[in-house]
Amino acid sequence: MRLRQTSILVLLFSIVACSTSSAPNRAEFPLRDARQSFKTNIVRTEPAFGAADDPSGSDFDLIRYDAPVGKLAAYLSKNPGDGLRHPAIVWITGGETQSIGDIWSPQSRSNDQSAAAYRKAGIIMMFPSQRGGNDNPGQREGFLGEADDILAATDYLASLPYVDTQQIYLGGHSTGGTLAMLVAESTDRYRAVFAFGPAAWANQYGGDFVFADLKDDRELALRSPYEWLADVRRPLYVFEGSEQGNWDGAIEIMATSNKNPNIHFFRLDGHSHFSVLAPVNELLAAQIVRGNIDVREADLSGLK
């Protein structure tokens, strides 16, 4: 049974109040600097997923990009071969974000993890795996070093002759949305960032997807988007469905606490944590093609 919204908010406020008493000084240390000066303590591991699926016959190539821990796998849109520079997006799927798999097969509109709207609109897509995922080097950390892997993937994407470096975007869903928010709080290199259904704090995952001890205040704070909202310097759009949302109250509490005009929160009536993906990504893809990202409540009303 769902708790009332007010009870959820009280619970979430209590989580942050008792979790971050020894957290980094936000005013003195921006998130990226705080991460780079901190050495995480990994306390558990999980079995590797194995090599990424072969995308032969699809619109994607399997490539390796250089990251701090070594070469990591990624799916990348094929070169259109038209001599033009195209807008591009780095997309982080939900669940165990470190590994990638089949993102080219048709997916249900009720849960399109592949964000197919972008490739259908002619936007270059990159799906990066991260440290410890698939057959990659490194250890999974969960929402920490993986942010550096996403930035390294973006460097690779920006180096391609068919990518417009002034129109690189970042998006992610669920755990991918949480990671996308943390990356947005670490850099200003994206034209805009889209986070679907993120958590406010890493301990909301109940121990899943994080491989450090979250009883350590610093480990928790550095993995929690709520703590670094002030660091966002480019447009960040955060979306969640009003029905069966990922973390009821997480979007509201971040929106209530947020004083940064670069961040925009939207909760869509009539949509779940999953069904929000297809229609909103279609809207965003159309805006990217037009070269003008400006999402308003009126744009989202009635999306199917």
Reported as a single tens digit per residue, the pLDDT across 65-118 is 999 999 999 999 999 999 999 999 999 999 999 999 999 999 999 999 999 999
Sign of CA dihedral 249, 254, 257, 263: negative
* Strand pairing category for 70-77 and 60-67: antiparallel
pTM of the predicted protein model:
0.92
Q: Which amino acid is at 159?
A: S
Reported as a single tens digit per residue, the pLDDT across 136-170 is 999 999 999 999 999 999 999 999 999 999 999 99
Give pLDDT < 50 ranges for the chain: 1-22, 25, 27
Q: What's residue 20's pLDDT?
A: 41
For the chain, state the CA radius of gyration. 18
* Residue 226 contacts residue 257 (beta carbons within 8 Å): yes
CA dist 125 and 118 (Å) reads 7
Helices (H), the chain: 5-19, 31-36, 116-120, 145-158, 175-184, 217-221, 250-257, 277-290, 297-300
The CATH topology of domain 5-300 is: Rossmann fold (3.40.50)
Q: What's residue 28's pLDDT?
A: 57
8-state DSSP, 132: T
Helix axes 175-184, 145-158, angle to 10 degrees: 70
Any idea where the domains of the chain sit in the sequence? 5-300
Q: Tokens 């391609």 correspond to what residue?
A: 160
* Residue 3 contacts residue 204 (beta carbons within 8 Å): no
DSSP per-residue letters across 257-275? H---TTEEEEEEEEEETTT
